Amino acid sequence: MDNTKTRQPSKRRLIQLYSALLYNAHLRGFVEGKIYQGGAKYACVPGLNCYSCPGAVGACPLGALQNALAASGHRGGWYVMGILLLFGTVLGRTICGWLCPMGLVQELLHRIPTFKIKKSRVTWLLSYLKYVLLAVFVIAVPLWYGLSHHLPLPAFCKYICPAGTLEGAVVLLSHPANSGLYGMLGMLFTSKFVILVVIGLACVFCYRSFCRFLCPLGAIYGLFNRFCLLGVSVDTDKCSGCGSCVRHCRMDVRRVGDRECIHCAKCMEVCAEKAISLRAGKVTLKTPEGTVGEAERKRREKAGRIAWGIALALLCLALLWFNFLDPAL
């Protein structure tokens, strides 16, 4: 269904907003200018969300990975690797398409009405850049620095990550209680701010520029896309190979569900053969319109309402806990 015609936010947009709010449920952090220090930060959130954001209630998986690698000399980073393996195997890049706050920010920036740059061979080649950043800034530099200097150096977080600048720096520095932090700002902040502005501008003109070209977390999850439990699936018996799905997709995919696919399921709407669906293992979550009977449609709608009810209850509980009830507050 084309939600632009109804002006209603799509379910995917609602889930993106929901997850952004859930990851940053510590709303009093924005009011007080302090970060959350409770036990929930033992867990990593699936998407890219800086743990220095005053609202963040979980750890950032990318930051945690770099610190774990830096500490490899005296302790194996099994916990973080296990978490990334779990997220990747269950969700793959569905996280990018549905559960990442930075993905949401990029898509909202792309809604600004300007001329847009389409994908091309150049953008497809650029999509490999995130693997270089993963190898160098996320793995090699923290590992080398940790082993040689016995000090953590989360190189991607320190030199590049726009989430840290936007969610951490800008939000923290906006609060009067943190005016003392201004004394620590220098060349590093200047360069990170410039990178943030450039990435933001790129996202306005080019769909999900950070996600496609720079995000190491997307690079990691993309490796699991072929095996992940949840994601878009093509019925190869129905697929005619027309390529309409790939042509309409704004990511640099070569086929549906490859390492660049964020499982947004927009290709489902353009497939003439109705061969694409969103599945969680054997359970079908979303199919093209007109492919299921009335009874099945009503059953799915009911299941959807129950799921939303549970999700909203969870969100309310999280907001209560992280703002009023948590003993760590």
Question: Which one of 22, 25, 48, 64 is in contact with another protein (CB under 8 A)?
Answer: 64
* Number of neighbouring beta carbons within 10 Å of residue 70: 23
Q: CA 71, CA 29: separation in Å to the nearest integer?
A: 29
Q: What angle do CA 156, 55, 103 make, to 5 degrees?
A: 55
Does 204 participate in binding another protein (rule CB under 8 A)? yes
- Asked if residues 288 and 276 have their Cβ atoms less than 8 Å apart, the reply is yes
Q: How far is the CB of 192 from another protein (least distance, A)?
A: 4
**E strand intervals along 221-327:** 230-234, 276-280, 283-286
Cα 200 to its chain centre, rounded Å, is 16
Please report where in the chains the tokens 């906006």 appear, as a residue.
174
Quick check: 127 binds another protein (CB under 8 A)? no
The minimum distance between CB 295 and another protein, in angstroms, equals 27
Which region among 13-21, 87-95, 127-135, 299-307 touches another protein (by CB under 8 A)?
87-95
Phi, psi at residue 291, to the nearest 5°? -105, -10
Contact with another protein (CB under 8 A) among 6, 148, 151, 183: 183
| Angle, alpha carbons 78-83-127 (nearest 5°) | 105
Quote the CA–CA distance of 230 and 304 in Å, as a whole number: 16
Q: Which of 46, 47, 63, 97 binds another protein (CB under 8 A)?
A: 63
Nearer to another protein by Cβ, of 238 and 302: the residue is: 238
Q: Which residues, other chains included, contact 152 with Cβ-Cβ below 8 Å and sequence gap of 6+? A: 66, 67, 70, 71, 142, 145, 146
What x-and-dash track marks residues 24-43 binding another protein by CB under 8 A? -----------xxxxx-xx-
| Nearer Cβ to another protein (99/160) | 160
Q: Does 327 bind another protein (CB under 8 A)?
A: no
Q: Indicate whether 2 belongs to the interface with another protein (CB under 8 A).
A: no
Cβ neighbours of residue 247 under 8 Å, at least 6 residues apart? none
Nearer CB in complex with another protein: 33/218 = 33
Query: CB of residue 270 vs another protein: minimum separation in angstroms?
Result: 8
Q: Is 85 in the site for another protein (CB under 8 A)?
A: yes
Bridge partners of 117, per DSSP, are 206
Nearer to another protein, 140 or 312 (CB): 140
Footprint on residues 228-257 left by another protein (CB under 8 A): 228-229, 231, 233-236, 239, 241-248, 250, 254-257
60 binds another protein (CB under 8 A): yes
Q: How far is the CB of 227 from another protein (least distance, A)?
A: 4
Q: CB 174 → another protein: shortest distance, Å?
A: 9
Number of shown-chain residues binding another protein (CB under 8 A):
103
Task: State in angstroms the smallest separation of the CB of 94 from another protein.
Answer: 12
Q: Which of residues 287-326 bind another protein (CB under 8 A)?
A: none
The 8-class DSSP code of residue 59 comes to B
Q: CB neighbours of 146 closer than 8 A, spacing ≥ 6? A: 69, 70, 71, 72, 73, 152, 153
Counting contacts by CB under 8 A, is residue 189 touching another protein? Answer: yes
According to the binding rule CB under 8 A, does residue 122 interact with another protein?
A: no
